[in-house]
Structure 1
Amino acid sequence: MKISVTIARIIVGVLFIFSGLIKAIDPLGLTYKMQEFFEVWGREGYITPLMNWMYKCSFVFSIIMITLEVVLGVALLTGFYKKLTLRLLMLLMIFFTFLTSYVLFSGKIATCGCFGDCIPLTPIQTFTKDIILLLLISFLLLKQQYIKPVGEVLPVGLVLASVIAVCFLQMYVLTHLPLTDCLPYKKGNDLLQLRKMPANAIPDQFTYSFVYQKAGVSKSFGATQLPDSTWTYVDRKQTLAKKGSNNVPLINDFSLTDSAGVDVTETVLGQAGDYYLFFLKDMEGNTANWSTAFTNLWQKAKKQNRPLYIVTADRDKATIFFNRKNQYQVQVLTCDATAVKTAARANPTLFLMKGSVVQGKWGWADIDKAVKN
């Protein structure tokens, strides 16, 4: 029995640590996933004021959740406060299982983001994983007498070290970008190519029915069995007959619009030579953190005759800051907020482009490195 408990303990502990760390390299990814849940629940009418408040607190919840996963994994492996640790693990797994079951059975959210963007799992895979972990933790709760701490001082030291390490890691990547970029906008990717439909895409197949009315009676007809002219057309209904596969481009929401409302995506990304895209989600942060570095970048871009574009979801405020308050006179392009959040995990983020291929990416704390290159 002791061997079985040790094996279960290692599996659960390692998986929790791994799950936390894979999300810790991109904590904003979990933040946006939480916001997706809260937005859907709020829209569905589940205590909407509370969901709106939780939406605003998603970043804090993300940091806490990631830290808790890693710390509980370390605590279980070291035997630190085993009763409290196992109870917290059980509560966490019940919560995770609820989320994954909602994703699986509601169909309103595509994925739960359990292992971040680097290891995408299908809803059925994540739900199965959570059920297995739930059973393992239940087993450990029943047999917790076989869990012994690895010393008296070591568990405390390792738990404290894990708290400090995972918090530092998250704060670091929020300013310097994720350590591993698993998103479509990573260095080396061709953004124009990724906006195209995959070559092996299989489109969705639909059936259509047509609603006609006669003498106050409505009736549906198939496309090959339409009624005579005595019936009046009312509506057309589309039904998904067969789901396609691989029919969504990796980049399907990225477009650049100029001040006149013209889509200039192909023009900007299709130009030859080097240029910069300066992604700025909004103007809510402290511009003093990066304004000097931006000035140096702007001067370098002018000297080397490289175009510099501001890409933002907040065009009006960005235009005021860059071209009125400061006389940079750079072109400000509007982009969907979701696309900006996906492309730029730090606010702001700088891309060096050559044609439509990403040559380099820097978070706001590293813009000076781009200037020196």
Structure 2
Amino acid sequence: MKAFIAISRLIVGSLFIVSGLIKCNDTLGFSYKLNDYFAHDVLNLEFLIPYSLLLAVLICVVEIVLGVALIFGLKSKLSTTLILLMMLFFTWLTWYTSSCLEAQEVAGKLGEEFNKNCVTDCGCFGDALKLEPKESFYKDLFLLIFTIPLFFFGMKNKIPVNSKKEDLFYMVTSLVLIFGFGVLVIGWWFTVLFSMVLYGVVYFIKNKSKGEWLSLLAAYVLSLGFTYYCLQHLPIKDFRAYKIGNNIADEMKVPEDAKKPVIEYTWVFKVNGEDQEFVTNGAYPEVNGDYVGVTTKVIEEGFEPKILDFSIESEDEDLTDYFLSADKLLMIVSYNILSGEKEGMTKLKKLSDEALKNGYTVIGLTASGAADKQKIKSAYNLDFDFYLCDEKVLKTIVRSNPGVLTLEKGTVTQKVHWNDIEDLEL
């Protein structure tokens, strides 16, 4: 059992640190996911929406601190209790999400109305690792196998503070696990580098001051500092399809030889006064009866492009292909121009004028209406037009309002937060 508890501490602690770092890297994206859950047609917790960013920061930073507490054996009663509570909550949340999707599918088959909105991705690992809700649920159930014993041992004070020798063992072994998941699975070396710095600072403070709270405070400050940096600039690792180097047009294409989805069609006919079902792969069945209806079920997913809903539209036409073929395009993104940061909006005039002088085509993308666009253009004396794009897409493109991208024939060459507009090379 002692060996099992050691393994549990290493697995849960290391995974909490990596998971927390991924969300700290893109806390704004995590807050958008929380908003999806808070919506009235999901959990109906709309009163929490104004606090979603604060909650996102708190959750991801605490996740890292709890991981550190497990690795070093700090405040084991409190840390194991909080970890169990978090795991129980997220296990329930992933169960709720997967159950919602299943209920939605059943309602569709029965032709019944389904009033709830289902979140399709829990956001457990942000955009770094996409898991189906059911996969996330099974992952959480697996982690509970380790978390529950940790809680009982922690409550009995059977997880003491590490000795120096134990610290070295747990740090090295944990770094190996973080390398396995953070680098080999996620492809992000920073998880290892940050953890090395984090462990070094905590080890030094713990063994010099003998203070558990001071050690955890150091972990909190480091994690919060990293989170703040990413919020004031952009995520240091971009896991999305709009990252620098990607061609947006290419990411939207479906290759000719792409895998097609396997779909099962269930046809319902009234035969001799009774409803009967006939299953085909899409062909209309030859049945002597009256057609009632048909439902479909995806048996095997086909190829899906990474970018699905991106468009650049005026009030009259779709200009996506036109602008993505431009040699030099400066794209200013503001999903809601009325809520854009004032300091960032004031920088757009100088930026756009300089870009136009250097031969760039300059456009804005927003989900705001015509009246709002005209109001902002007049307020900041902007000499470029704003075009329409879906709000969720714009939030995905850049984690800043406003944010700026430069493109060459559809390939993203630069992307900056409004704080870093001066760093653009035009």
User: TM-score if structure 1 supplies the norm length?
Assistant: 0.86
Residue aligning to 1:239: 296
Decide whether aligned partners of structure 1 residues 211 and 325 sit closer, same or farther in structure 2, where only a CA change above 3 A counts: farther
The answer on 1:265 being equivalent to 2:275 is: no
Residue aligning to 1:201: 259
Residue aligning to 1:54: 48
The answer on 1:84 being equivalent to 2:75 is: no
Give CA deviations for 1:184-209 in whole Å, capped at 9, x if unaligned.
00011111111122542322424263
Retained in 1: the 8 A contact 2:349–2:381?
A: no
Residue aligning to 1:149: 161
Q: How many angstroms does 1:336 deviate by?
A: 0.2
Q: Secondary structure at the match of 1:164?
A: helix
Greater mean deviation of Cα atoms: 324-333 or 248-257: 324-333
- What is the distance in 1 between the residues matched to 2:285 and 2:9? 62
The answer on 1:9 being equivalent to 2:6 is: no
Amino acid at match of 1:67: V
The counterpart of 1:128, out of the listed 135, 138, 142, is 138
Give CA deviations for 1:289-335 in whole Å, capped at 9, x if unaligned.
22343222112112112111000111435522443223322111010
- What is the distance in 1 between the residues matched to 2:303 and 2:230? 32
Residue aligning to 1:137: 147
Q: How does 1:61-140 map to 2 (within 5 A)?
A: 61-107=55-101, 108-140=118-150
The answer on 1:224 being equivalent to 2:285 is: yes
Q: Which segments of 5 or more consecutive residues in structure 2 lack a partner in the other structure? A: 102-117, 163-205, 279-283
Q: How many angstroms does 1:121 deviate by?
A: 2.9
Matched residue count = 357
Residue aligning to 2:397: 343
The counterpart of 2:408, out of the listed 322, 340, 354, is 354
Amino acid at match of 1:250: K
Q: Secondary structure at the match of 2:305?
A: coil
Q: How many angstroms does 1:218 deviate by?
A: 7.9
Decide whether aligned partners of structure 1 residues 204 and 348 sit closer, same or farther in structure 2, where only a CA change above 3 A counts: farther
Greater mean deviation of Cα atoms: 146-155 or 335-344: 146-155
Retained in 1: the 8 A contact 2:337–2:373?
A: no
Residue aligning to 1:251: 307
Q: How many angstroms does 1:95 deviate by?
A: 0.4
Q: Secondary structure at the match of 1:352?
A: strand
Retained in 1: the 8 A contact 2:35–2:52?
A: yes
Q: Secondary structure at the match of 1:305?
A: coil
Amino acid at match of 1:17: I
Q: How many angstroms does 1:171 deviate by?
A: 2.0
Q: How many angstroms does 1:128 deviate by?
A: 2.9
The counterpart of 2:385, out of the listed 328, 331, 339, is 331
Decide whether aligned partners of structure 1 residues 219 and 97 sit closer, same or farther in structure 2, where only a CA change above 3 A counts: closer
Amino acid at match of 1:255: S
Retained in 2: the 8 A contact 1:175–1:363?
A: yes
Q: How many angstroms does 1:17 deviate by?
A: 1.3
Q: How does 1:13-32 map to 2 (within 5 A)?
A: 13-32=13-32
Q: Which segments of 5 or more consecutive residues in structure 1 lack a partner in the other structure? A: none
Q: How many angstroms does 1:267 deviate by?
A: 1.2
Q: How many angstroms does 1:350 deviate by?
A: 0.6
- What is the distance in 1 between the residues matched to 2:128 and 2:400? 18
Retained in 2: the 8 A contact 1:74–1:158?
A: no
- What is the distance in 2 between the residues matched to 1:24 and 1:179? 10
Residue aligning to 2:38: 38
The answer on 1:363 being equivalent to 2:420 is: no
Residue aligning to 2:197: none
What fraction of aligned residue pairs are identical, expressed as a percent? 28
Q: Secondary structure at the match of 1:116?
A: coil
User: TM-score if structure 2 supplies the norm length?
Assistant: 0.76
Amino acid at match of 2:65: V
Superposition CA RMSD, Å: 2.6
Q: How many angstroms does 1:355 deviate by?
A: 0.7
